[in-house]
């Protein structure tokens, strides 16, 4: 019979299969090794998966049963009880600054003529702790200045750490909250805005003369008609009037109040710039007033002080000076644009000399993130401008008035909002000195990295 096709046996004969005999054994060996490798990989994967499941279960068990929750947010590290009754936020902040040719705001001819300085400084090193206890509406806060910057000839103790803020709020009802402690009194926006929430490297030349700064006392505050065209906030308090960390030296007290109208029905936070990109227009119009009798003619974070030409607190008589102040303020934010201004009036009566002296000052500043107008501009970049002036008594003849002015420009780069930003500003500072009838001016450049953890 004829075959349909040839086989390997027909071509190679009986010897051919013998040569190929080892192949099945080799294939079996390779297959066994592959199977073993696959089995080991599967076992390893199963072990890792099982371990991951165990770790995950343990973590969830600890998270659900441990009495304290830990997290991190805009206020720093947070520890909170499982039931929400207790909470603590811890944050560290540093301001690292370069300045040329002077660190402060020159007020006298000698300061403008002084030798130029080019200096780095840790302008502020702060620790903030705040939260609530027992109830969410029983709040607390304190702040420590770890290393205040000092001049080269200052005493060493001026660089020691100090508690600058401590306060407790009973905020059970929004329309009537009680605050006791020591803090920056709610008088004007520029001062109450944190140094870490500013639009420029530092506050304007107006601040030194007109701030009432930190005081010890008690205050009633509230929010009325929220979300309506009549949206109002009020503050009214009584304080020692001696500044930070000092007991009163007489029976006179400082009385201060503020009324703020949120005319668009939306509240405006105590912070500058519109890095948050406020979607709806938000603004406020406010008025504040203060009266005090004592040794102080000005205040700062260091406490009670004196204006140029007035007696120092250590040499002044009890209740020698009666100080009265008023402020008008406006602020507005919308879609990357921000503007704010203040006008201050202050009178100091020297009751020992029987003389009274008036002073006034104002500033206006505006900033914008031009990315929202020209997309080619980087989004984190903000540009800002500020003008300020102060009319105040001459130190040699208080019946003459000096005039100071400030013209400043700033560029901010926000890495993570106000918590991590770089600021460059340039200022033109002028002085019209009345006693010697001289006009002087100078330029200043500052660079600052402000970072909070």
Instruction: Dump the DSSP string for 189-250.
Output: HHHHS-GGG-SSSS--THHHHH---EEEEEEEEEEESTTSTT-EEEEEEEE-SS-TT---SS
Identify whether residues 357 and 437 lie together within a single domain: yes
What is the arithmetic mean of pLDDT over 323-338? 98
> According to the model, what pLDDT value does residue 59 have?
67
**Which residues sit opposite 93 in a β-bridge?**
126, 452
> According to the model, what pLDDT value does residue 153 have?
42
d(CA 141, CA 236): 20
Q: Look up residue 202 and give its two tokens.
A: 């530092």
> According to the model, what pLDDT value does residue 1 have?
46
Identify whether residues 283 and 409 lie together within a single domain: yes
CA angle 271, 232, 180 (to 5 degrees): 70
Identify whether residues 184 and 326 lie together within a single domain: yes
Does residue 11 carry a pLDDT above 50?
no
What phi, psi does 348 have (nearest 5°)? -120, 120
Does residue 366 carry a pLDDT above 70?
yes
Maximum average pLDDT range among 150-164, 243-257, 345-359: 345-359
Q: Which helix (H) or strand (E) holds 100?
A: strand 87-100
What is the arithmetic mean of pLDDT over 284-291? 98
What is the arithmetic mean of pLDDT over 48-69? 73
What is the arithmetic mean of pLDDT over 98-105? 94
> According to the model, what pLDDT value does residue 369 have?
98
Can you tell me which residue has the tokens 């306060």? 167
Identify whether residues 298 and 442 lie together within a single domain: yes
Q: Is 203 left (phi over 0), alpha (psi -120 to 50) or beta?
A: beta
Does residue 12 carry a pLDDT above 90?
no
> According to the model, what pLDDT value does residue 32 have?
76
Does residue 337 carry a pLDDT above 90?
yes
What is the arithmetic mean of pLDDT over 78-87? 92
What is the arithmetic mean of pLDDT over 94-113? 95
What is the arithmetic mean of pLDDT over 151-168? 69
Q: How confident is the model at residue 50 (pLDDT cuts 50, 70, 90)?
A: confident
Residue 240 resides in a domain: yes
The pTM assigned to this predicted structure is 0.84
Q: Look up residue 67 and give its two tokens.
A: 């009495």
d(CA 446, CA 426): 7
Least confident segment among 46-50, 122-126, 129-133, 251-255: 46-50
Residue 308 resides in a domain: yes
- Percent of the chain with pLDDT strictly greater than 70: 87
Identify whether residues 270 and 202 lie together within a single domain: yes
d(CA 406, CA 340): 16
Q: What are the C-alpha distances in Å from 259 to residues 11, 213, 342, 363, 419?
A: 111, 18, 14, 20, 29
User: What domain range includes position 245?
Assistant: 97-116+167-452
What is the arithmetic mean of pLDDT over 185-205? 96
Give the residue, 20 or 419, on which the prediction is more confident: 419
Number of domains in the chain: 2
**Closest by CA position to 275, among listed 130, 140, 421:** 421
> According to the model, what pLDDT value does residue 268 have?
94
* CATH code, domain with 210: 2.40.160.10
Identify whether residues 60 and 173 lie together within a single domain: no
- Percent of the chain with pLDDT strictly greater than 90: 76
Q: Look up residue 29 and give its two tokens.
A: 């060996």
Identify whether residues 103 and 34 lie together within a single domain: no
What is the arithmetic mean of pLDDT over 103-108? 94
Per-residue model confidence as pLDDT tens digits over 225-234: 999 999 999 9
> According to the model, what pLDDT value does residue 264 have?
97
> According to the model, what pLDDT value does residue 51 have?
73
Residue 296 resides in a domain: yes
> According to the model, what pLDDT value does residue 15 have?
47
d(CA 120, CA 118): 7
Residue 398 resides in a domain: yes
Q: How confident is the model at residue 152 (pLDDT cuts 50, 70, 90)?
A: very low
> According to the model, what pLDDT value does residue 39 have?
74
DSSP symbol at 372: G
Report the chain's terminal Cα–Cα distance, integer Å.
Answer: 96
What is the rounded average pLDDT for all residues in the chain? 90
Residue 230 resides in a domain: yes
Q: Distance between alpha carbon 323 and the CA centroid of its chain, in Å?
A: 30
Does residue 419 carry a pLDDT above 90?
yes
Residue 124 resides in a domain: no
Identify whether residues 258 and 407 lie together within a single domain: yes
> According to the model, what pLDDT value does residue 116 have?
92
What is the arithmetic mean of pLDDT over 30-41? 73
Least confident segment among 10-14, 58-62, 94-98: 10-14
Residue 161 resides in a domain: no
Identify whether residues 350 and 425 lie together within a single domain: yes
d(CA 15, CA 251): 125
Identify whether residues 62 and 106 lie together within a single domain: no
Helix, strand, coil fractions of the chain, as percent rounded to 5? 15, 50, 35
Q: How confident is the model at residue 435 (pLDDT cuts 50, 70, 90)?
A: very high
What is the arithmetic mean of pLDDT over 135-145? 96
Residue 127 resides in a domain: no
Q: Report CA dihedral (192, 383, 338, 286) to the nearest 10 degrees.
A: 40
């Amino acid at each position: 019979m004829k075959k349909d096709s040839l086989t390997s046996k027909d071509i190679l004969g009986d010897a051919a299969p013998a040569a190929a005999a080892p192949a099945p054994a080799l294939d079996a060996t390779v297959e066994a090794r592959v199977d073993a490798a696959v089995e080991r990989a599967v076992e390893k994967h199963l072990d890792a998966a099982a371990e991951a499941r165990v770790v995950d279960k343990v973590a969830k068990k600890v998270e659900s049963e441990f009495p304290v929750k830990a997290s991190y947010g805009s206020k720093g590290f947070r520890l909170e009880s499982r039931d929400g009754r207790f909470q603590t936020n811890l944050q560290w902040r540093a301001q690292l600054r370069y300045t040329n040719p002077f660190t402060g705001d020159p007020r006298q001819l000698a300061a403008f003529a002084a030798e130029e300085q080019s200096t780095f400084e840790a302008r502020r090193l702060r620790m903030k702790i705040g939260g609530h206890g027992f109830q969410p509406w029983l709040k607390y806060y304190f702040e420590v200045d770890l290393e205040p910057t000092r001049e080269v000839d200052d005493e060493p103790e001026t660089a020691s750490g100090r508690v600058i803020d401590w306060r407790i709020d009973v905020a059970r009802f929004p329309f009537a909250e009680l605050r006791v402690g020591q803090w920056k009194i709610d008088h004007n926006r520029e001062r109450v805005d944190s140094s870490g929430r500013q639009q420029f490297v530092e506050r304007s030349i107006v601040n030194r003369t007109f701030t009432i700064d930190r005081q010890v006392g008690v205050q009633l505050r509230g929010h009325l008609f929220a979300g309506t065209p009549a949206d109002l906030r009020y503050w009214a308090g009584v304080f020692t009037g001696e500044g930070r960390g000092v007991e009163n030296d007489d029976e006179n007290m400082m009385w201060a109040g503020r009324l703020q109208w949120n005319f668009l029905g939306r509240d405006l936070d105590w912070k500058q710039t519109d890095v948050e990109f406020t979607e709806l227009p938000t603004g406020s119009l406010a008025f504040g007033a203060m009266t005090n009798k004592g040794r102080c003619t000005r205040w700062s974070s260091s406490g009670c002080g004196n204006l140029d030409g007035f007696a120092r607190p250590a040499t002044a008589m009890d209740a020698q000076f009666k100080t009265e102040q008023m402020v008008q303020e406006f602020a507005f934010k919308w879609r990357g644009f921000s503007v704010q201004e203040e006008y201050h009036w202050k009178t100091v009566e020297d009751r020992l000399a029987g003389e009274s002296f008036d002073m006034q000052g104002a500033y206006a500043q505006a900033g914008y993130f031009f990315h929202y107008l020209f997309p080619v501009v980087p989004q984190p970049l903000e540009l800002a401008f500020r003008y300020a002036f102060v009319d105040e008594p001459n130190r040699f003849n208080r019946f003459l008035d000096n005039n100071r002015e400030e013209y400043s420009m700033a560029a901010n780069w926000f890495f993570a909002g106000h918590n991590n930003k770089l600021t460059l500003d340039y200022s033109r500072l002028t002085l019209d000195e009345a006693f010697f009838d001289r006009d002087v001016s100078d330029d200043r450049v500052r660079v600052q990295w402000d970072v909070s953890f």
